[in-house]
Structure 1
């Protein structure tokens, strides 16, 4: 974890807990600026607030102009939609709401799982412009937290704080160069670890079935082709140069094996399966406990 003696700025944003560590205390101006970036991102992308930009897509078909970061987000989602055969999709929001993970947070299914609409039928995402032909619930949670971490890191660098460490509830961004040893949370017991990994310059993000789980075996990683939770994978970790890519690939590993994703992305990975075995890339520099 961050060097001893560093200071920590903690806050809540986009539904999760954040902690930014820096060698010296951030000024009030720096802190306000970071919080403003978090609020701006939430106001654009949150499906849990009716005043967000993306919430318009759930009410009325048409064109929405989104902030600059939308271009990279749309391109990444488009690639992963293709690689997973539609299983990973930004159109999963309606399925999550059907199963109880909506703005009212009932955590009670309102019916059987519902597959997501086909991207090509309802969505055209070109750069910062998103156009829909039917009401759809957009959810970018599989990559949004990572992208926001990247945006905050860039803001810190631009403000003269090149050294920092961002912890977004376990998704980590270390701009480097000093590596840090990170524990890998056990998928069934958050008080234990299944191993450790060394995080150099870059990001380490995780996805797990025990996070945001409810009811009788429901969790937030849904297969867009069925609308049902994935059962074969219980946890995954991805290390990449950006937190947005690491965050997205950690979810993609629930649908596609690591070697297939390595054909198009430069990243290291570990996947833990429900039958007890694990698979990982040769460059995942860690140690698994027996």
Structure 2
């Protein structure tokens, strides 16, 4: 008996393009459940939605703790410590002032550092998420990776319950997690999207990428800000990180834009590649052994 034909589903959600491949086509009910899962996460964490928990807390106050908050904000604490405060979940207002706001105005009104004492302003304990002062939470450093994990885990659980083939690929525009399959994934050149700087053969786990040419506007403005200054990063152009989960890979892809990122990746056992704005490639000691085939800079 031949293997079932794979199912391919493409759709737009949370402002990005999704591409999901499963061993068999997903039923409409399953697609509806995934859409509901994504919308639920977005209603909690999106700073672009007026009805989200993040938007409701912007003036200060508290709300019931979202189920992903402890894990995500705990990782933020590690990212912040490793990068000397460059990564900070209260960078939302800094991004908005540079033009990446809820209205996508793309109008730069100047740099504003995020609160350096963010762990005093933002708390998550006893079932409550709270802000002691007005601030705008932004979980962009790892939130998309977290959502990719939630979708992948949901698909794998459904496959296990049905005793079906659990081969899955979930790709949310550069944040990719695989299970039960091996894929060769091109590493897009940040200065020429028609080219690749290499290919990474991924046998399960997650490969996440981040680049300054994505979500960019104006002269030198893009979505990767140093929270300490409110200024866009100027030394690193693109990063890639391979980890067991997309949450970790996405977090490290962000941390790698800053000093301290490679050391954190080493502690977490995550392999990585990054390109500087001068075009130089850097990579972890185990990246090539982990499947990275780099075309330039070797």
* In 1, Cα distance between equivalents of 2:56 and 2:121: 14
Deviation at 1:108, TM superposition (A): 1.3
1:108-187 mapped onto 2 (5 Å cutoff): 108-110=107-109, 112-118=110-116, 119-126=118-125, 129-160=128-159, 162-176=166-180, 178-187=181-190
Deviation at 1:120, TM superposition (A): 3.3
**In the comparison of the two structures, how many residue pairs are matched?**
285
Check the 8 A contact 1:258/1:280 in 2, yes or no.
no
Deviation at 1:271, TM superposition (A): 1.2
What TM-score comes out, normalization by structure 2 length? 0.91
**What SS does the corresponding residue of 1:173 show, helix, strand or coil?**
strand
Deviation at 1:263, TM superposition (A): 4.2
In structure 2, stretches of 5+ residues that fail to align are: none
Check the 8 A contact 2:185/2:202 in 1, yes or no.
yes
* In 2, Cα distance between equivalents of 1:79 and 1:91: 15
1:12-31 mapped onto 2 (5 Å cutoff): 12-31=12-31
**What SS does the corresponding residue of 2:152 show, helix, strand or coil?**
helix
1:1-290 mapped onto 2 (5 Å cutoff): 5-59=5-59, 61-110=60-109, 112-118=110-116, 119-126=118-125, 129-160=128-159, 162-176=166-180, 178-284=181-287, 285-290=291-296
* In 1, Cα distance between equivalents of 2:127 and 2:148: 19
* In 2, Cα distance between equivalents of 1:127 and 1:170: 35
Check the 8 A contact 2:82/2:260 in 1, yes or no.
no
* In 2, Cα distance between equivalents of 1:19 and 1:145: 14
Which string of whole-angstrom CA distances, capped at 9 and with x for unpartnered residues, describes residues 142-169 of structure 1?
1111101110111111212622110101
Deviation at 1:289, TM superposition (A): 1.4
* In 1, Cα distance between equivalents of 2:192 and 2:22: 30
| CA-based RMSD | 1.7
Which string of whole-angstrom CA distances, capped at 9 and with x for unpartnered residues, describes residues 35-66 of structure 1?
1001101111100011101111212x222223
In structure 1, stretches of 5+ residues that fail to align are: none
* In 2, Cα distance between equivalents of 1:33 and 1:264: 36
Deviation at 1:121, TM superposition (A): 3.8
Structure 1 residues 263 and 286, CA gap change in structure 2 (3 angstroms): closer
Check the 8 A contact 2:4/2:24 in 1, yes or no.
no
Deviation at 1:14, TM superposition (A): 1.1
Deviation at 1:127, TM superposition (A): 7.3
Greater strand percent: which structure?
A: 2
What TM-score comes out, normalization by structure 1 length? 0.94
Deviation at 1:5, TM superposition (A): 4.7
Check the 8 A contact 1:183/1:195 in 2, yes or no.
yes
**What SS does the corresponding residue of 1:109 show, helix, strand or coil?**
coil
* In 1, Cα distance between equivalents of 2:127 and 2:271: 29
